[in-house]
Amino acid sequence: RMDQALLLVRNELPAQGLRLAARSGSCHQCLYQFLAFVPPSNGSLRKPGTAEVVVDTQHPLTLQLNGSVSDTELCKIQYHFGEFGNYSLLVKTLSTSTKTVSCDLVINEGPINSYLPILFAFLVYTGTLTILIVGRLLMKIHAVRNWVYKKLNPRETDRLINSELGSPNTADSISSDLNPHLWSTASRQRLRSLDTFRGLSLIIMVFVNYGGGRYWFFKHDSWNGLTVADLVFPWFVFIMGTSISLSLSSMLRWGSSKQKVLGKILWRSFLLILLGIIVVNPNYCLGPLSWDNLRIPGVLQRLGFTYLVVAALELLFTRAGAESGTLETLCPALQDILPYWPQWIFILMLEAIWLCLTFLLPVPGCPRGYLGPGGIGDFGNYPNCTGGAAGYIDRLLLGEKHIYQHPSSSVIYQTTMPYDPEGILGTINTIFVAFLGLQAGKIILFYKDQHKQIMSRFAIWSIVMGIVSATLTKCSKEDGFIPINKNLWSLSYVTTTSCFAFILLLLMYYLVDVKRLWSGAPFFYPGMNSILVYIGHEVFENYFPFKWKMQDSQSHAEHLTQNLTATTLWVIISYVLYRRRIFWKI
């Protein structure tokens, strides 16, 4: 099967059988898992004992062979098997006097290169992009443009080529009857880099949710660590915080009262949470909605609650003159931070609560401050302690049946306890990510049109977050004070993903809004319709043309083709909606 190889163990030892066990390289401090018993050889017939096992190819494996008589370790081999490969492990005695045992791994049939489909897809998308860019450049040549006019409807062609593509300039829905002048004016005032950032995060999220070609690095890490899939949700939360700063500033500047703005915040948060619980979370293919096993946490639920806290915090403590720089501060270098000290105190208090609950809350049957996956991790000492305090709080307050039943740790660490990566305790750090995004928005407002200042502040924040991450993790995956962990939304996970978010936003701001070397396409379009694309891709996930029956379900190439096709379709849909000026706002 996909991500598996066949291993034939040949035992030429006449005296004893072998016990074969394995441990994945991605499983930290895990117990060896028994794979097979290999019988001893038949000395009279000179026939070795054999056993066939299927081994995982996603991560390196450590194979351990113990004798069945004394249970002593005879040999240990570390190897990264290739997909669909055929291997033999030969176990024999080198010297009868010293009883030295050798274990030799032989490749009977070479594995396939399962990463070639990624290369092919990259070349296809790169080629398509190159053709579009060349075509756009050619259309700027007068002679070419005139030739196209003659071949096509001149009036329609002129409208398509010369129209000023823009975007709405308000948080509310824009009706389709705006006149062209107002549309163009609004387009120039909106920062396209923010929508591009949001769209990039969303498209990667859609691709990952659809399966990511079934590659392990497009899946969430089993516990500690960071993959591509682990980056997108905090990035989306980050840019949501940035948008909160800009949209609230705009609404208050145009005369909206705080009571009216608060009403909009409450209504939008309520809709997000409701959509998450009723529309996105349930699998109606399994039957009607039932409270008995309804998952309460979720992506939209966390987004809704985070939006409520951060937006209300910004609305409550916003001060006139802070964004324009007219307020005097003791330290000019911190003039975009100090005016918002009440907000920072509130966020730091939330982080103190997270630290206290995570490391001081007593969890029955678990060591205090436990951050591990449970299961076979930590040598199997705490099998029911998945997530430590975070998991315990969710199971206590929400109930085991109302949280996620198949966490990413269940495969590698063989955990049996339900655990929700969008649980209660992790929401505190999600608020912190959104607040850092809010800070990015304040920088944009405070240093309006001062591009060097904005980019330098983004760079400084990225460096600060990087230093904090390096300190918390000790630059190690497993041995830091607080490892990077998406399931827990650990503090180091927040600072690391925010570090990358500031860098990415800096690059996009420079390319899209400062130098205008890139329009933001194609990510700009789904970024303008993010709620519709997210909910749509969840609701229609199992429907054609987003999914179809495969000829070979054990092929990375077919899965990658299907997942990329579905993701591309959502980009096309968002582009069509953009051209028709249809935007679904909550």
DSSP string, 118-145: HHHHHHHHHHHHHHHHHHHHHTTSHHHH
Q: Do 63 and 137 lie in a common domain?
A: no
Q: Would you place residue 68 in the very low, low, confident or very high pLDDT band (cuts 50, 70, 90)?
A: confident
In a domain, 505, yes or no: yes
Enter the tokens of residue 469: 């991450």
In a domain, 419, yes or no: yes
Contact between 406 and 425 under an 8 Å Cβ cutoff? The reply is no
Q: Which DSSP helix (H) or strand (E) runs through 502?
A: helix 491-508
Q: Do 199 and 300 lie in a common domain?
A: yes
Digit-coded pLDDT (tens) for 356-379: 999 999 999 999 999 999 999 999
Q: Do 105 and 121 lie in a common domain?
A: no
Structural domain range at position 505? 180-321+335-579
Q: Smallest Cα–Cα separation from 272: which of 502, 584, 486? A: 584
Q: Do 425 and 515 lie in a common domain?
A: yes
Q: Do 267 and 374 lie in a common domain?
A: yes
Q: Would you place residue 575 in the very low, low, confident or very high pLDDT band (cuts 50, 70, 90)?
A: very high
Tell me, what's the pLDDT at 162? 46
Measured distance CA(307)–CA(491) in Å, rounded? 19
Pairing of strands 49-56, 61-67: unpaired
Q: Smallest Cα–Cα separation from 564: which of 144, 179, 117? A: 117
In a domain, 175, yes or no: no
Q: In whole numbers, what is the pLDDT of the chain averaged over residues? A: 88
Name the strands in the sheet holding 61-67, side by side, starting at the edge strand that comes first in the sequence: 33-38, 18-24, 61-67, 73-79
Q: Do 271 and 154 lie in a common domain?
A: no
Compute the half-sphere exposure of residue 303: CA atoms within 13 Å on the CB side of its CA: 25
In a domain, 541, yes or no: yes
In a domain, 385, yes or no: yes
Q: In this structure, is the dihedral angle defined by the CA atoms of residues 205, 211, 216 and 220, taken in order, positive or negative?
A: positive
Task: Provide the annotated active-site residues.
Answer: 220
Name the more confident of 455 and 292. Answer: 455
Q: Would you place residue 284 in the very low, low, confident or very high pLDDT band (cuts 50, 70, 90)?
A: low
**Would you say residue 89 has pLDDT above 90?**
yes
**CATH for 80:** 2.60.40
> Which residues are registered as beta bridge partners of 47?
42
Q: Do 8 and 58 lie in a common domain?
A: yes
**What is the tally of structural domains in the chain?**
3
Name the more confident of 449 and 430. Answer: 430
Q: Do 86 and 132 lie in a common domain?
A: no
Distances (CA, A) of 182 to 164, 169, 177, 185: 11, 10, 10, 5
Q: In this structure, is the dihedral angle defined by the CA atoms of residues 198, 173, 262 and 423, taken in order, positive or negative?
A: negative
- Which amino acid would we find at residue 249? S
**Would you say residue 483 has pLDDT above 90?**
yes
Q: Would you place residue 160 in the very low, low, confident or very high pLDDT band (cuts 50, 70, 90)?
A: very low
For a pLDDT cut of 70, what percent of the chain falls above it? Answer: 89
Q: Smallest Cα–Cα separation from 362: which of 337, 341, 388? A: 388
Q: Which one-letter DSSP state was computed for residue 101?
A: E
Q: Which DSSP helix (H) or strand (E) runs through 29?
A: none
Measured distance CA(337)–CA(354) in Å, rounded? 23
- Which amino acid would we find at residue 370? Y
- Estimate the crossing angle of helix 389-397 against helix 424-446, to 10 degrees: 110
Measured distance CA(416)–CA(419) in Å, rounded? 9
Q: Do 516 and 375 lie in a common domain?
A: yes
- Of 167-181, 367-381, 470-484, least confident by mean pLDDT is 167-181
In a domain, 528, yes or no: yes
Contact between 245 and 323 under an 8 Å Cβ cutoff? The reply is no
Tell me, what's the pLDDT at 286? 61
In a domain, 326, yes or no: no
- Of 92-101, 139-148, 523-532, least confident by mean pLDDT is 92-101
Q: Do 363 and 404 lie in a common domain?
A: yes
Token pair 């190897």 is at which residue?
79
In a domain, 172, yes or no: no
Average pLDDT over residues 122-150: 86
Q: Do 101 and 125 lie in a common domain?
A: no
Q: How many other C-beta atoms can be found within 10 angstroms of the C-beta atom of residue 434?
A: 28
- Of 37-41, 328-332, 565-569, least confident by mean pLDDT is 328-332
Q: Do 59 and 184 lie in a common domain?
A: no
Contact between 571 and 202 under an 8 Å Cβ cutoff? The reply is no
